[in-house]
C-alpha cells in the first residue's frame, strides 16, 4: 500500500536541488529511497519526521534480509543521514536518529584480469595488424603488459623515456613521484620499432616531445584513443571487448607477476602504489585462481555420484 509523499521529504528534495545542485537522477533516487522508507515506517505507525533510531536500524537491517546489495544499503543510509541532517538543521526534530547507525561494510571488489592465454591472443592480434597501426598497437600493449603502467602514464610518456635503447622506463606517476620499471625484451623491441616508425610521421619542422604523439589538444594519444585501439584488438583476438580495458591489462600484469612468484613489495613499486595494502588485493586473485584449479582438477574435489 502506498502512502502520500511526506511534505518534509519534498522540502528536503527541494533543498538538495536548489542549494546543492543535485542532478535529476540523484533527486529521483533519493525520492524513491525516502518513499520506500516512509512506507516501511507507516507499517510501524510512524512517519519520517518522528521515526525512532531503532526503526531506522530495522529498515537498514531489512534491506540486508531481502538481499539488497551492500552498496545499495549504504546509499540508502546516506540518503537518510542527509535527510535527518536537514531535519535537525531546520529544527524539525531535536535529534538525528541515524547518528549511531554505521553503514554496512563494503567488500572491496576484486580487480578483473585476463588469463595469460587471453593476453597472448591480444598481443598476437596487435602484431598481425599491418602498417603503422600494428606497430603502434603492439608497442602500447607490450609496454602496458610489461610494466603495469597506469593508462595516463603510458599515453603521456615523453620521447626522452626511450632516448637510448631502453632496459627500464623512468615513469612520473601520481604526486609527480618517479619510479623505474624494467622492460621485457618483447616490450623493448616493440618500443624500438615504434620509435623508428614515429620518425617517419613526425616532421622535423614540428617536433613533438611525446612518445605517442597526436594532433589533438594534448599533443599525445588520449586514454580513450588507446581504449578504442584495445577494443579493436580484443575483437580481432576473439575476446569480449567489454571485458578488456587498459586497466584490466594493468591488473593482469600484477596478478601474473605474483602468480609467477614475484614478491609483493616489488610489484607495489612497479605499480606505483603508495600503500602496499592496495597491492595486496591481487593476492586474493591468486588465492581465488588456486581454489578454482583445485576444485576443477583435484581428484578428491570431484563430487561423488
pTM of the entire structure?
0.59
Residues 255 and 155 placed together within one structural domain of the fold = yes
Residues 273 and 172 placed together within one structural domain of the fold = yes
The C-alpha atoms of residue 279 and residue 259 are separated, in whole angstroms, by 13
Q: Judge whether 282 counts as a catalytic residue.
A: yes
pLDDT of 109? 62
pLDDT of 110? 62
Catalytic residue among 54, 116, 132, 174: 174
Q: Judge whether 220 counts as a catalytic residue.
A: no
Residue 110 within any structural domain of the chain = no
Residues 42 and 131 placed together within one structural domain of the fold = no
The C-alpha atoms of residue 49 and residue 88 are separated, in whole angstroms, by 10
Catalytic residue among 8, 76, 150, 198: 150
Residue 302 within any structural domain of the chain = no
pLDDT of 23? 84
* Whether the Cβ atoms of residue 12 and residue 85 lie closer than 8 Å to each other: no
Report the CATH number that the domain containing residue 32 is assigned in CATH. Answer: 1.10.150.130
Q: Judge whether 250 counts as a catalytic residue.
A: yes
Residues 127 and 218 placed together within one structural domain of the fold = yes
Total tally of structural domains belonging to the chain: 2
The C-alpha atoms of residue 180 and residue 291 are separated, in whole angstroms, by 34
Residues 78 and 122 placed together within one structural domain of the fold = no
pLDDT of 83? 92
pLDDT under 70: residue ranges of the chain: 1-6, 104-111, 165, 175, 278, 281, 283-305
Q: Judge whether 113 counts as a catalytic residue.
A: no
102 phi and psi angles, rounded to 5 deg: -90, 150
Q: Which domain holds residue 32?
A: 7-90
Residues 281 and 230 placed together within one structural domain of the fold = yes
pLDDT of 119? 92
Amino acid at each position: 500500500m502506498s502512502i502520500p509523499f511526506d511534505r518534509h521529504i519534498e522540502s528536503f528534495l527541494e533543498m538538495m536541488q536548489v542549494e546543492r545542485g543535485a542532478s535529476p537522477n540523484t533527486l529521483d533516487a533519493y525520492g524513491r529511497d525516502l518513499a520506500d522508507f516512509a512506507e516501511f515506517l507507516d507499517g510501524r505507525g510512524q512517519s519520517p519526521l518522528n521515526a525512532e533510531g531503532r526503526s531506522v536500524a530495522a529498515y537498514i537491517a531489512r534491506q540486508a534480509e531481502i538481499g539488497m546489495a551492500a552498496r545499495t544499503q549504504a546509499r540508502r543510509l546516506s540518503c537518510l543521514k542527509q535527510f535527518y541532517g536537514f531535519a535537525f538543521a531546520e529544527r524539525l526534530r531535536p535529534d538525528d536518529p541515524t547518528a549511531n547507525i554505521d553503514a554496512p561494510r563494503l567488500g572491496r571488489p576484486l580487480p578483473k584480469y585476463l588469463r595469460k592465454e587471453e593476453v597472448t591472443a591480444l598481443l598476437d592480434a596487435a602484431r598481425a595488424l599491418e602498417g603503422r597501426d600494428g606497430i603502434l598497437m603492439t608497442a602500447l600493449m607490450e609496454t602496458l603488459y610489461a610494466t603495469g603502467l597506469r593508462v595516463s602514464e603510458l599515453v603521456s610518456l615523453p620521447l626522452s623515456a626511450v632516448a637510448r635503447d631502453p632496459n627500464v622506463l623512468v615513469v612520473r606517476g601520481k604526486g609527480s613521484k618517479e619510479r623505474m620499471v624494467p622492460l621485457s625484451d618483447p616490450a623493448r623491441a616493440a618500443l624500438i620499432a615504434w620509435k623508428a616508425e614515429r620518425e617517419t610521421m613526425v616532421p622535423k619542422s614540428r617536433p613533438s616531445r611525446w612518445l605517442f604523439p597526436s594532433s589533438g589538444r594534448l599533443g599525445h594519444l588520449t586514454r580513450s584513443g588507446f581504449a578504442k585501439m584495445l577494443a579493436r584488438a580484443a575483437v580481432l583476438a576473439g575476446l569480449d571487448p567489454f571485458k578488456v580495458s587498459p586497466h584490466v591489462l594493468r591488473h593482469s600484469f600484477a596478478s601474473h607477476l605474483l602468480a609467477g612468484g614475484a614478491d609483493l613489495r616489488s610489484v607495489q613499486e612497479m605499480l606505483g602504489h603508495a600503500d602496499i595494502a592496495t597491492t595486496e588485493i591481487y593476492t586474493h586473485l591468486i588465492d581465488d585462481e588456486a581454489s578454482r584449479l583445485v576444485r576443477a582438477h583435484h581428484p578428491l574435489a570431484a563430487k561423488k555420484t
